[in-house]
Amino acid sequence: MAQRRPSHASSVRVALVTGANRGIGFEVCRQLAEEDFVVLLTARDKTKAQTAASKLANGGVEALALDVANARSIEAAVGEVAERYRRLDVLINNAGINYDTWETAETANIDGTVVETIITNLLGPWRMCQAFLPLLRKSKAARIVNVSSESGSVAHMGAGPPAYQVTKAALNALTRTLAGELRQAHILVNAVCPGWVATDMGGAGAPRSVKEGAAGIVWAAKLPQNGPTGGFFRDGKPLPW
């Protein structure tokens, strides 16, 4: 684990990234560290989080075990962040599963794939926001970034991976709802589509690099106080809902 910085260091911006031991989440951590954030790199498995963080040890990256599908794990992570820094400046809900191209809405395994995907892709970010909002409210410029997908755009939606795109559409709805609720608190909440990125989920044939996909997420994390909220973006440009 990287060296902890003092919890009273008010000038340090603290960001937490879920599902960050590889792929887009890992690259988001790298880019945020380059922008002088203290980054809490999380993964369900503590060892995987520590291994990933050690690769970025020179950039102020710390490991944190966190399973977004487990309420107790989230509660424990909140306690860790509160003890270390007493606040959180940026929450990036990146963890996501099941690009279920092997299913259709007609034949999808409701009690298996669908429920599993809802728990991680929708309820995970929802629980994270609820749990971390007390710490986000202590920030002078809090940001919530929900990593979504154009697959969840109702305007463009057709046949596709059913559990994945339905949960991403729901995540977009949660983004809009939270943005409206938190507007007066000056907490900016946005959804970001990284595009079709060459990750384990996107496949080696995807046209965008991990670096390109992560950049739009980092952009939303760094928005100025007068920046947009309740939006859906890719590369800093609006996407249709």
Residue 106, Cβ density class (10 Å: 0-12 exposed, 13-18 middle, ≥19 buried): exposed
* Residue 207 pLDDT class (50, 70, 90 cuts): low
The rounded distance, in Å, linking the Cα atoms of 6 and 101 is 46
The reply to whether 164 belongs to the active site is yes
Window from 57-61, 87-91, 198-202 with minimum mean pLDDT: 198-202
- Average pLDDT over every residue of 2-8: 45
Name the catalytic one among 164, 171, 174, 191. Answer: 164
The rounded distance, in Å, linking the Cα atoms of 154 and 141 is 30
3-state secondary structure of 82: helix
Which residue, 144, 198, 195, 197, is CA-closest to 171? Answer: 144
The percent of residues in the chain predicted with pLDDT above 90, rounded, is 84
Tokens 């690099």 belong to residue: 209
pLDDT attached to residue 106: 97
Can you identify the CATH homologous superfamily of domain 13-238? Answer: NAD(P)-binding Rossmann-like Domain (3.40.50.720)
The percent of residues in the chain predicted with pLDDT above 70, rounded, is 90
pLDDT attached to residue 107: 95
Which residues, including other chains, have CB under 8 Å from residue 144's CB and lie 6 or more apart?
Answer: 90, 91, 92, 93, 129, 136, 178, 182, 187, 188, 189, 190
Residues 120-135 have pLDDT tens digits of: 999 999 999 999 999 9
The rounded distance, in Å, linking the Cα atoms of 183 and 198 is 34
